[in-house]
Structure formats: structure tokens, C-alpha cells
Amino acid sequence: MSNATLSARYAFGGLGGWPMPFMDNIGTGPASAQGTAVLATPTVVRVTKSVASGSLILPSILTNEADPMTIVINDSGQTVLVYAAKGESMDGSLNGNRSVATGGVAFFLRVRDAEAVGGGAGPDWRSNVIT
């Protein structure tokens, strides 16, 4: 399924009837910059404009801003970096990020207490990319 098809399904009522808030045609923040990255909210975000290694940041798990899952669709011509909220972890790495290549779709799952499931200390985003 192409990214355009995925985008259309999310925009018109979600996938499999599960409604998902969707933001289309967004740009990223500066290259490799967690502190000035664009906030990746709502649940599904489609990037169409980015500098090389442009940056997005996920909502905070600690402040309950984060949805259980965030999906980033990269339809820009550049690789995008998606960061955990400052002071939080991604895949067990404090202030970590996930690289999403052009044409890729990344899934981020919120884990409120990673320590309880054998991960690091505190909240963690578990992620994977489909290219």
C-alpha cells in the first residue's frame, strides 16, 4: 500500500474503522535538533517538507500529552529524525531518536513505565520503521 493510499485512509476515518487524528503536509524543524523540533501531534503525521535530517519530537509521556501510538509518514525528499520528548527515552536510549527515510512509515508505541517491563528507567517510546 502506498503512502498516498495510507494517507487517504487515515484522513477519511482511520484504518479499519479506527478514527485517528491526522495532520497532513507538515514541515520539520532544523536538522538534528531535539530542542527546536516540530511537535509530532496528533496521532498520524505526514511530513511533506523537510531539510536533510529535519526534526520532529513526540509529545511527552510524563505529562500525559502522548497518545498510545504515533505514526509518522515521511513523504518529503529527505530523511527525518523523530525524537523522544526531552528527558524521555526511545527504544531504551535517553533522548533518543528514530530515523525515517524518504517513503518510510514509522510507528511509535508509548510505554509509560519501561522499568516495569525490563527496559530502562521511566517512560519509553518503542519504535519501528517500514520502508
Domain segments of the chain as ranges: 3-130
Per-residue pLDDT of 79-96, as tens digits, reads 999 999 999 999 989 999
Helix (H, G, I), strand (E, B) or coil at 11: helix
CATH 1.20.950 describes domain 3-130: no
* Strand-strand pairing, 69-74 and 124-130: unpaired
Reading the block at residue 86, the C-alpha cell is: 526531552
Helix (H, G, I), strand (E, B) or coil at 40: coil
Per-residue pLDDT of 89-126, as tens digits, reads 999 899 999 999 999 999 999 987 755 455 556 789 99
Per-residue pLDDT of 9-44, as tens digits, reads 445 445 555 556 666 666 777 788 888 888 888 788
pTM (2 decimals)? 0.79
> How far is the CA of 40 from the CAs of 43, 60, 104, 105, 124, in angstroms?
8, 11, 16, 13, 16
Give the number of residues written for the chain. 131
